[in-house]
Each structure stands twice: as C-alpha cells, then as structure tokens.
C-alpha cells in the first residue's frame, strides 16, 4: 500500500477540563497526498484547530494513528516531535502578527527564523528575497509592518512560515480577518506555493467558497470527517468580451459528498435529521435511486429506569440500579403522537 503524506486513522483527542472530558476529535479518518492544497471547513468547535495542532506537532492525540511524512506523531518522543515541528512545519495564524515582529521590516522578519536555525550571510538574504518574491512582495521587502496592508502582512507571515523550508504548511483561518478581495490574494499565494514548491498545505476556513481556491475541501463535524467537496466537472464556455475578442471561461461545478467510512458509517447533517425528525433510530429503504433514510416507523423504543419502590408514586420516577427497569415504548399512530408505557421485568 502506498503511504500518503498525511494519514490519520481513528484519531481521537480528549481534553480534560476540570475533571470533565471534552471529546474534540472522535475517530477522524483523513488522508492527504504530498503537494495537495486542501481546505478544511467546519463549524466553530468542530475540531479544526485541534487537528491542525496535532498535525503540526503542537499537541498530541489521545488515541488512533497519525503519520505525517513517515513520522509517527503519536509515538515519537518529545525531543523528536519538537524537531519535527521546527523543521517540517510552517504555521500561519489568523492574526498575522503572531508570526511577525512589528519593529522589523518584511525581509528581516523572514530572515529571523533562519538566524535562529543557524542559516547565515548571503544564503539567508538570498532565500528571504526568494520567498518574498514567491508571495509577491519583492517591492515591499524593506517596508515595516505598519506600512503594509493586512493582506500584505499575512503574505509576509506566509513567507516567515516558509523560512525553514517546511514540507507541511498549516494555515488556521488565515483569511479570518481580511475582506474577500484580500482573501483571494492570500489563496492565490497558497496556490503558487503548492504549484512551485510542491508544499502540502492545509487551510482552515469558515468560508465555503474556499472550494474554488483549493484542490479539495474536507468538512469536519463533531470531530469527524463528514464531507468532501469535489470539483466535479470543468466546462469551457466561450464568452465574448467588450472588444469583440473571445475568451474561454472555465466553469467548475462542486458537489458536497458525505464521507462513508470503512465500517459503512456516514455522518448525516444535523439539520437534515431535524427536518425529518429522525432521532435514535432510522429505517433504511432500498429504492430505485439508492438508499433512503426514513424516520423509524411507528415504534421507537427507549430504555428508561423507573422507581418501583413505595415512594415511587406513579411509578415513573427515575431510579438507579437494574431492578424494576421498564421499557418505555413511544408509539406513533397515524393520527399523531401519543405515549404508551409498558412495564417489562428486567432480570
């Protein structure tokens, strides 16, 4: 089996906060190939930053498998993980200032991580100029940060992230604080890097239109990979310009597909389930077009435990322990919803 550049299998991350477990990733599966430019979308709290931090070696997963460029990020000793993070990963954050020193000009910002890594002299200068050229800021290399626009500062931050020649570039909402025109220039910068340096790049975004700017978009929901947006088709349609010339316009179509895992599980969006009031159980029906997920017919069974002691009143109070548990059958008739309770002896 060929190894992917990034391979996450059943990745789990649990945070302990004041004794309470918070599951940020619950069995995430994801593979990314070398040189791919991938968008990662998902609602706030879905686990995007947690995944980025783990991929970047800033944090460790609780369980599962994760390999990046042949490195086992779960089992690696701390000193090797630190080395991996310093040498293999570049980070770009939402606030570009997190990567930048405000009183240095653009080129000195790019040279700083190289100095810390022992690169000196002409080589340092040459590489910093080359990186600023790739991000389109050659003309601005001697400008100090306050003289640069938000988008330009973010592009300096990208050059800084590349200073140590990483193989993986992780950008956590890099367009979160800029307008859409600036976001486009930032996306274009990532495209150039992916094309010219073959650097594997993951960009977290809230913005679904990111699908236009990357090779692939993966969606996470509740700490699991839930969907992939696939570019389905490219049409060329000629358009006539005002001067009478004709240009071929490429038209891309996108489809958001749910991910089906090896065990046959799919993640159905909450809003779909709510729309059809599907909870707890569902029925699958084979139709001519495929598989239909329906609200479970007529009977939904829920186990509840009920107080059966003298003080139990109507016998419907919750009770700990196994004795006297009853099954509540909530039955639905054609005319509407009513509840009927039946008592089962639990041995």
Q: Which residues bind ligand ADP (CB under 6 A)?
A: 15, 17, 22, 24, 42, 44-50
Q: Find the helix packing angle between 121-134 and 150-162, rounded to 10°.
A: 130
Q: Residue 290 contacts by C-beta under 8 Å, 6 or more apart in sequence?
A: none
Q: CA 127 to CA 129: how far, in whole Å?
A: 5
Of the pair 53, 109, the CB lying nearest ligand ADP is at 53
Shortest Cβ 49–Mg ion spacing (Å): 3
| CB 58 to ligand ADP: min, Å | 10
The CB-of-217 to ligand ADP minimum distance in angstroms stands at 15
Q: Are 229 and 257 in contact (CB under 8 A)?
A: yes
Q: Is residue 58 a contact partner of residue 84, using CB atoms and an 8 Å limit? A: no
Nearest distance, CB of residue 148 and ligand ADP, angstroms: 27
Of residues 64 and 113, the one with the C-beta less far from ligand ADP: 64
Closest CB to ligand ADP among 213 and 221? 221
Q: Applying CB under 5 A, does 49 fall inside the site for Mg ion?
A: yes
Cβ atoms < 10 Å from Cβ of 333: 9
Q: Which partner, ligand ADP, Mg ion, none, binds residue 309 by CB below 5 to 8 Å per kind?
A: none
Is there binding between residue 50 and Mg ion (CB under 5 A)?
Answer: no
- Out of Mg ion, ligand ADP, none, which partner does residue 42 contact, by CB within 5 to 8 A per kind? ligand ADP
- In whole angstroms, how close is the CB of 73 to ligand ADP at the nearest point? 16
Please say which residue, 13 or 48, places its beta carbon nearer to Mg ion: 48
Binding partner of 44, given Mg ion, ligand ADP, none, CB within 5-8 angstroms per partner class: ligand ADP
Q: In the complex with Mg ion, which residue's Cβ is closer, 112 or 220? A: 220
Closest distance to ligand ADP from the beta carbon of 182 (Å): 22
**Long-range contact list for 187-194, CB < 8 A, 24+ apart?**
187/213, 187/214, 188/213, 189/134, 189/135, 189/136, 189/155, 189/158, 190/37, 190/158, 190/214, 191/37, 192/134, 192/135, 192/136, 193/134, 193/135, 193/158, 193/162, 193/169, 194/35, 194/36, 194/37
**Cα–Cα distance measured from residue 341 to residue 215, given in angstroms and rounded to the nearest whole number:** 54
* Bridge partner residues of 266 (DSSP): 260
Give the one entry of ligand ADP, Mg ion, none that residue 201 binds, where binding means its C-beta sits below a cut-off of 5 to 8 angstroms depending on kind: none
Question: How far apart, in whole angstroms, are the C-alpha atoms of residue 193 and residue 183?
Answer: 16
- Nearer to ligand ADP by Cβ, of 59 and 152: the residue is 59
DSSP at 57: T
SS3 per-residue string spanning 97-129: HHHCCCCCEHHHHHHHHHHHCCCCHHHHHHHHH
- Which does residue 79 bind out of ligand ADP, Mg ion, none, counting CB within 5 to 8 angstroms by kind? none
User: Which of Mg ion, ligand ADP, none lies near 50, with the C-beta cut-off 5 to 8 A by kind?
Assistant: ligand ADP
User: Considering only 3-11, 46-54, 67-75, 287-295, which stretch makes contact with Mg ion by CB under 5 A?
Assistant: 46-54
**Least Å distance between CB 8 and ligand ADP?**
14
β-pairing verdict for 89-92 and 168-172? parallel
SS3 139: helix
Nearer to ligand ADP, 50 or 154 (CB): 50
Least Å distance, CB 43 to ligand ADP, is: 7
- Half-sphere exposure (CA, 13 Å, Cβ side) for 2? 6
Q: Which helix (H) or strand (E) holds 153?
A: helix 150-162
Q: Decide whether 54 or 132 has the Cβ nearer to ligand ADP.
A: 54
Residue 53 interacts with Mg ion (CB under 5 A): yes or no: no
Which residue lies nearest Mg ion, judged by its C-beta? 49
Q: Which residues bind Mg ion (CB under 5 A)?
A: 48-49
């Amino acid at each position: 089996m060929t190894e992917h550049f990034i391979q996450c299998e059943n990745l789990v991350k649990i945070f302990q906060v004041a004794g309470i477990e918070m599951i940020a990733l619950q069995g995430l599966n994801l593979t990314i190939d070398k040189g791919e430019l991938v968008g990662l979308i998902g609602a706030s709290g879905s686990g995007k930053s947690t995944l980025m931090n783990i991929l970047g070696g800033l944090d460790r997963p609780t369980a599962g498998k994760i390999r990046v460029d042949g490195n086992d990020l779960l089992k690696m000793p701390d000193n090797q993980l630190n080395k991996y993070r310093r040498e293999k990963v570049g980070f770009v954050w939402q606030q570009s200032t997190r990567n930048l020193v405000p009183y240095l000009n653009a080129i000195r910002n790019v040279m700083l991580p190289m100095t810390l890594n022992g690169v000196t002299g002409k080589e340092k200068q040459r590489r910093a100029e080359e990186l600023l050229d790739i991000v389109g800021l050659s003309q601005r290399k001697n400008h100090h940060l306050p003289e640069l626009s938000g988008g330009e500062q973010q592009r300096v931050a990208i050059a800084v992230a590349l200073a140590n020649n990483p193989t993986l570039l992780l950008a956590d909402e890099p367009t979160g604080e800029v307008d859409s025109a600036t976001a486009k220039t930032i996306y274009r910068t990532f495209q150039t890097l992916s094309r010219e340096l073959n650097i594997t790049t993951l960009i977290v975004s809230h913005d679904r239109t990111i699908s236009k700017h990357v090779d692939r978009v993966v969606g996470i929901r509740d700490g699991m990979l839930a969907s992939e947006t696939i570019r389905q088709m490219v049409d060329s349609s000629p358009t006539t310009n005002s001067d009478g010339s004709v240009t071929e316009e490429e038209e891309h179509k996108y489809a958001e597909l749910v991910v089906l895992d090896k065990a046959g599980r799919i993640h159905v969006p909450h809003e779909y389930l709510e729309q059809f009031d599907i909870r707890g159980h569902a029925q699958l029906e084979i139709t001519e077009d495929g598989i239909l997920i329906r609200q479970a017919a007529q009977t939904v069974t829920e186990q509840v435990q009920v107080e059966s002691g003298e003080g139990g009143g109507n016998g419907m109070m919750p009770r700990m322990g196994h004795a006297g548990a009853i099954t509540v059958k909530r039955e639905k008739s054609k005319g509407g919803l009513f509840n009927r309770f039946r008592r089962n002896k639990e041995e």
